[in-house]
Structure 1
Amino acid sequence: MHATHLRLNQADSAESAPQNNNLLGLDAVRAWAAVGVVMLHACVPYSDPDVPGLTWATTDTPHMGLTALMWAIEIVIMPIFLVMAGFLAFRSMSSRGPLATLKSRTRRLGWPFFLAVIFLIPVDLYAWLLGWLADGVITPRQMRALKFAEGQDEHLWGLSHLWFLQYLILYIAVLAGAWKWLQRIDPARA
């Protein structure tokens, strides 16, 4: 039993360990993209025009330079993360198969996503509401009752900043489901 447990731990650590060190450039891009995401979010309160459908905790006087920076980052940041995620998912499915990749990503992304929905979303909601309260958008009574003027909370409810994890998990599931079909496509005929 001890040997089986040891083999399972070795397999799990082998799965989570990098396959090789050839991805240092990708790690650097990911780090810079993460800094870009932080900068993007810091610019949002100063953006003009506002991002359609985006509810933000507070707004301030628009600044054209910060607006330009926010949109410049916005245009490229999600494609960068999605291309990296797709590349790594393809690589993982090629070496370990779609089911093992889906299980691994569900464990690595799904559980944190689930826990964040339970614990982080309520904190996020009240952080936003505190911003609205400070800006005079809502009253303390509205904050306590979570009842707002018609349309005021239109984009307040949802996954907030966790939307990316939801999409990523769905993309991985779709790729895993379509993997056998995709393997039949002969790139030489294209």
Structure 2
Amino acid sequence: MHHDSRRHDIDALRCLVFSLLILYHTALMYLEGSSFHLRSSYATDALNMPLVFINRWRMEIVFLISGVSCAMMTPTSRGAFLWRRIKRLLLPLLFGMAIIIPIQPYCEGVSHGLVEPGFGRFLLHYFGGHAWPAGAFAGWQYGFTWNHLWYLVYLLLYIIVLVTLQPLLQRITPYFRRLRGWRLLVLPALPTLAAMALLKMRYPENHALVGDWYAHAIYFTLFMYGWWLGNDKGLWQELARLRWHSLWLALSAFFLYQYFDKIHSENLLTWASFGSWPMRNMYMWLAICAILGWSHILLNRPFAWLSWARQAVFPWYILHQSAIVLLAYWLVPLQLGPVLEPLLVLTGTVAICWLGTSLLISKVNWLRPCFGLPARPRQAVAADTSLAAN
């Protein structure tokens, strides 16, 4: 990607959305009835509405930003593009699954009382294809898990589909790029609404890649929206122009969605679903339009923190959930209270990600690609050492 044409708003937005992920995953420990890997004894129902407010668009916008990034890469042949993406995503996925993730099922299993304490023995079992007791940890049926790295698996799949069907998908681009005014704010919510009506009850989201048709329909659609949006100046200007409209409409859609959902949960098919489902999809798309429009106005400048954050975002993403789970595993039994405990989990997670990335990952040349960072060119490494010698 050429640095002069860098879209600072997309870079900044990616960093902010992934930072939100750390807050979100920490908050899940404190949500009453949540199915997060570890739960605090200080769970509350008060977090339900703010978490739904974020959750209805947070992964959708991550896939959309991934699509935008794919569209903005310097044009190469489809094969070269695919190979570059596979190299960038597959190694962190495999490394993360082998080294970073296993701490999560271990902590989860021990806290459930279904895994014997002792991390070394757990690892021997984990990699030795051991059969786990039912419910030991998320993914126990498969014997292993990719937990929060499912996003990398799905992204790789969508990139392969995109490259395969590119000539076909390119034909839709002009239609998408012509959307203006109310059409831009309403029409893109209809395919996801159709996916919800046809697939949500039949295929609840499982992140297991197989049989996850509802999730694929939603996330691939948003990935494609991002790809079509790409570098199109007209659409970005339109999103910026509509930013107040999309903001107020998004908030209204959210309250209507909550109203219908309070009458009947959206996982039941009742007359209320005819209000709840369209409003949920309208809220999701309007919120994304508002975020894109506002960030294009406010974030499209070379902030001082941006070049650091751009490097840090991938390693932080890989590390954050294992850090949260490990800290919760140590801190929850200490009963430190409903303020100190989440504060320690949050600051500890940031500290682990910060120190892990700046002291270790970015410095060790063979570790960099394992966390999605480009290997440093040799002359730069030589320059570093010569500076150190002076």
What TM-score do the two structures reach when normalised by structure 1?
0.71
Deviation at residue 166 of structure 1 after TM alignment: 0.6
**2:15 equivalent among 31, 50, 54:** 31
Bigger helix share:
1
Q: Secondary structure at the match of 1:37?
A: helix
Q: Secondary structure at the match of 1:64?
A: coil
The residue type paired with residue 40 of structure 2 is: T
Q: Counterpart of 2:30?
A: 46
**2:55 equivalent among 66, 70, 74:** 74
Q: Counterpart of 2:113?
A: 138
Does the Cα contact within 8 Å between 1:109 and 1:165 map onto a contact in 2? Answer: yes
Deviation at residue 21 of structure 1 after TM alignment: 4.0
Cα RMSD after superposing both structures:
2.9
Q: Counterpart of 1:8?
A: none
Does the Cα contact within 8 Å between 2:109 and 2:115 map onto a contact in 1? Answer: no
Q: How does 1:33-182 map to 2 (within 5 A)?
A: 33-51=17-35, 55-92=36-73, 95-130=75-110, 132=111, 137-138=112-113, 141=116, 149-153=133-137, 155-156=139-140, 157-182=144-169
Does the Cα contact within 8 Å between 1:47 and 1:66 map onto a contact in 2? Answer: yes
Pick closer, same or farther for the CA change 1:68–1:122 going to 2, 3 Å.
same
Does the Cα contact within 8 Å between 1:39 and 1:70 map onto a contact in 2? Answer: no
Aligned residues: 164
**1:187 equivalent among 174, 182, 192:** 174
Deviation by residue 1:143-185 (Cα, 9 ceiling, x = unmatched)? 7577655445464442111101111111111101111222355
Pick closer, same or farther for the CA change 1:113–1:90 going to 2, 3 Å.
same
Deviation at residue 116 of structure 1 after TM alignment: 1.3
Write the distance in 2 (CA, Å) between the matches of 1:152 and 1:124.
11
Deviation by residue 1:90-121 (Cα, 9 ceiling, x = unmatched)? 2337x223222211111111111111122123
Does the Cα contact within 8 Å between 2:115 and 2:136 map onto a contact in 1? Answer: no
Greater RCO between the two (CA within 8 Å, min separation 6)? 2
Write the distance in 2 (CA, Å) between the matches of 1:49 and 1:124.
19
Write the distance in 1 (CA, Å) between the matches of 2:70 and 2:148.
22
Does the Cα contact within 8 Å between 2:109 and 2:136 map onto a contact in 1? Answer: no
The residue type paired with residue 66 of structure 1 is: L
Pick closer, same or farther for the CA change 1:140–1:116 going to 2, 3 Å.
closer
Pick closer, same or farther for the CA change 1:97–1:182 going to 2, 3 Å.
farther
Write the distance in 1 (CA, Å) between the matches of 2:102 and 2:17.
27
Unmatched 5+ residue regions in structure 2? 179-390
Pick closer, same or farther for the CA change 1:64–1:105 going to 2, 3 Å.
same
